[in-house]
Amino acid sequence: MSTDLADCVRRTLNRYFRDLDGEAPHAIYDMVLACVEKPMLEVVMKQAAGNQTTAAEMLGISRSTLRRKLAEHTIS
């Protein structure tokens, strides 16, 4: 499973660089994290049936960190 996700990231980043068409890349790290973090949080929250404690445990982060990240991405 993680190989599939890694392959997806590789393909997407290769497409990103190909589509730059001569433009300089900028803030790739932040771009990738922003693109991945919100859908990850949404899926995990759904799997945890909205329970933040369970979701935080699934993610391996503290509940307060999860709450902050949910607020940053405007996820209820």
* Model confidence band, residue 47 (pLDDT cutoffs 50, 70, 90): very high
On the question of pLDDT at 2 being above 80, the answer is: no
Which residues are CB-neighbours of 13 under 8 A, at least 6 positions away? 28, 32
Question: Percent of the chain having pLDDT more than 90?
Answer: 88
Q: How far does CA 65 lie from the centroid of its chain?
A: 14
- How long a stretch of residues is the chain? 76
Q: What is the pLDDT of residues 22-46, one digit of tens each?
A: 899 999 999 999 889 999 999 999 9
pLDDT at position 1, please? 61
Domains of the chain by start residue, with CATH: 2-72 (1.10.10.60)
Gap between the Cα atoms of 73 and 76, Å rounded:
9
Phi/psi region, residue 55 (left: phi>0; alpha: psi -120 to 50; beta: rest), is alpha
pLDDT at position 34, please? 87
pTM for this entry:
0.80
